[in-house]
Structure 1
Amino acid sequence: MSTCTRGTRSGSGSAQRRGGCAGFLLLPFSLAARVCRPARAGRLTDEGIERAQVARTAIGFVATAWLLFAYPLRESAVTILGGKFIELLISAGLLLVLVPIALAVFVYAARPPGPAFYRARMRGPLVALGGLFGTALLLVLAGPTADLAHWSAWGEFWYVAQLLIGVLYLFALPFGLASAVLCVHHSFRTADVHEVLPPLVSPVLVWAMSAVQLFDAPSVAAPLGVRLLFLAAPPLSVTALSVWELRRLRVRYGVTLRGALGR
C-alpha cells in the first residue's frame, strides 16, 4: 500500500510540475484574459449570443482559408500573415479612439442618475485601454530598435538591465498580442458599462476596417466578384449579428438602448 501511495504522490508532483511550467508559459495569455474580458458582477450574458459570435468567427476563418487555397497568391504566405497582424493592430488602434468617444457620448446622452451610474462602471474599459496602450508603449521603448545606449554608463548593471529588458519583452509581446485580439473581440470591455454597447461599437469598427482595406492591394488573384464579396461580407455579417443581438436583448431581457439611456 505504501509503495502505491508513494507512486501516486510522485506522479501527482510530476503533473504539478508540468502544470506549473505550462501555467508559467501561459501566464501572459491568462493575464491578458483577466485584463481584457468583461468581468462586471451581474453582467447579462447570453449563451446564444456567445455561440453566434464564435460561429461567425469560425466561418470567417474557414472562408479566408478557402480563399487562400482556392486562388493563386499574389504575395508570400509570410507577407499575408504580416498583413493580417497589421490589420489587427489597426483595429485595436481604431478602438483606442472609438471606444472613449462612444463611452463619452453614451454617458453624456444618459439621463440622471445614469451618468454617475455608468461612470462608476468605467473601470473595466479603462483597465483594458490602459493595459493595451501601456504594453504597446513598453514594446516600443524596450524593443529591439530602442536606443538603450545610455545604460552602458551603469557598467556591470548594463548586462543585468539587458537581461531584465529581454525577459520583460518576451512577456510583454505575447501579452500584447493576446490583449489586442481580446480587446477587439470584446470591444475593450464596453459590456462592463452596458450590454448594448458592444453590438453598437463592433459594426462601426468593422465598417471602418473595410474602408481601410479598400486601399490595400488584393493578396490573391481572385475574380473581382469574389474579392468584393469577401470585402463586404465581414461588415454586413457583423452588422446583421449586432442587430440580432440587440433584438435578442430587447425580446428576451427587456434591455434596450432607450432604456439604458433612461429615455
Structure 2
Amino acid sequence: MTRTHRSWTDGTLTARSFLKPHQVARAVFHPTWIPHSLDPTVDQLKRIRVIAGAVAALGVYSFVQGGFAFEEMLDNAATASAVLFFLTPVTVGVMLFVWRRGGTVRQLKVPLLNSLKLLLVFIGSVFTTVMLFSVGATFGMLPQLLLGLAGLWMAVFVMAGAFRLTGNFFGTAAVHRCLPPLLATVTTWLMALPDLITGDLHGLSLTLGIVFILGAPVTVTAISLLETRRLKHRYGIRLTAHPATLPPQFPAPPPYPPATPYHRGNPYAPRPNPYA
C-alpha cells in the first residue's frame, strides 16, 4: 500500500454541488483513495450485492405491510448504523489477527484510518438525520419547516451515501480487496439474526417471512463468495493473505474494438491510363 497525498474529494465539490445531495454523497462516501474495481465482472457482482445489502439494511417489511413507512426506514437505518459501528472494527480486527504472520498493522495504518473516518462520517450523518426529524416536531411552524428541509436534504444524502458504501464498505477495499464482500456477508446475517432467533415474521405469512428474512443474507453471501472466488483465481488475491504479500493489483484495460485490417488491394489489377 502506497501513501497518496490527494484530497478526499479531489476538488470535485463546488458550491453548486450542495444543491444536489446525491452529488455530495458521491464525493464524500466514495473518496479518491478508494481503488477502482479490477474488472467488469466484479463490478456487476458488486451491484447485485449492493441491492441485496440495501434490502437487509433498510428492511422490506414496511413496503409489504401497509405501504412505505419512512419512520421505520429511519429506525432501521439507525439500527444498521449502530451495528456497523461495532461490527466493522471487530471484523477488521479479526482479519488483522489472521494476517499477523504475513505483515504488520503499521503497513495498513493509512487505509485503516481512512476507512474509520468514512465509517464515523456515515454514522454521524445517519444520527443527524434522525435527530433533525425527531427534534423538528417540538418547535413552531417556521423552525419545523427549516428543520424538515434540512432533514430531507440529509435523508437523500444518507440514502445516496448508503448506496455507495454498500459497494465499497467504507473503503475497506483500500485495505484488502476481499474485505467488502466479507463485511457485507457478516453484516446482513447479523441484521437477520434477531428475527431468526425470535421467529418474528413481522406479520407476514411463513413463506414470505422466510423469504424476506433469509433472502437478503443468502443472496449477499452467494454473491460475496463468487466475488472472492474470482479475486482469488483471476488475480491471486486471497482473503487470508496479508495485503503486503499480495501481487500488484491493476484494473483490467478497457476492451478495444478490433482494428480494421489494412486493405492493400489487388497489386495485379490494371492501372488507369494517366494520359486518358
The interval holding the TM-score normalised by the smaller chain is 0.5 to 0.7
Shift in CA distance, 234/196, structure 1 to aligned 2, threshold 3 Å: same
Distance 1:61 1:105 in 2: 25
Displaced runs of 4+ in structure 1, greater than 6 A?
59-62, 146-149, 161-167
Question: Which residue number corresponds to residue 105 of structure 2?
Answer: 115
Flag structure 2 segments of 5+ consecutive residues without an equivalent: 1-13, 247-276
Which of 230, 243, 248 matches 2:230? 248
The partner residue of 2:209 within 208, 227, 231 is 227
2:19 aligned residue (17, 21, 25)? 25
| CA drift at 1:170 | 4.9
Q: Using the TM superposition, give the Cα deviation of residue 99 of structure 1 relative to its aligned residue in structure 2, in angstroms.
A: 1.0
Distance 1:243 1:186 in 2: 16
Q: CA deviation at 1:21?
A: 11
Alignment of 1:195-206 (within 5 A): 195-206=177-188
Unaligned runs of 5+ in 1: 1-19, 150-158
In structure 2, what is the Cα distance between the partners aligned to 1:22 and 1:177?
A: 20
Of the candidates 27, 30, 37, which is equivalent to residue 37 of structure 1? 30
CA distance, structure 1, for counterparts of residue 195 and residue 49 of structure 2 = 20
SS at match of 2:33: coil
- 2:88 paired residue number: 99
CA distance in 2, matches of 1:41, 1:228: 36
**CA–CA distance in structure 2, aligned partners of residues 167 and 228 of structure 1:** 38
Q: Which residue of 2 is the match for residue 174 of structure 1?
A: 156
Q: Which amino acid aligns with 1:105?
A: V
RCO higher in 1 or 2 (8 Å CA, sep ≥ 6)? 1
Change (3 A) 1:140 1:241: closer
Q: Residues of 1 paired with 2:103 and 2:222: CA distance?
A: 32
Distance 1:258 1:56 in 2: 21
Change (3 A) 1:171 1:246: same
Matched, 1:259 2:241: yes
Within the alignment, does 1:87 sit opposite 2:81 as a pair?
no
**1:203–1:239 CA contact under 8 A, matched in 2:** yes
Q: Please say which structure displays the higher CA radius of gyration.
A: 2
Residue type of the partner of 2:181?
A: P
Distance 1:180 1:44 in 2: 18
| CA drift at 1:202 | 1.1
Preserved contact between residue 92 and residue 180 of structure 1 (Cα < 8 Å): no
In 2 relative to 1, CA 146–167 (structure 1 residues): closer, same or farther, beyond 3 Å? closer
Aligned match of 1:135: 125
| Closer, same or farther: CA 141–209 of 1 in aligned 2, 3 Å | closer
Q: Which residue number corresponds to residue 238 of structure 1?
A: 220
Letter in 2 for 1:124: N
Structure 2: which amino acid aligns with 1:30? Answer: Q
Backbone CA RMSD of aligned residues: 4.0
> 1:36-55 deviations in whole A, cap 9, x for unaligned?
22643655533112212324
1:78 CA displacement: 3.2
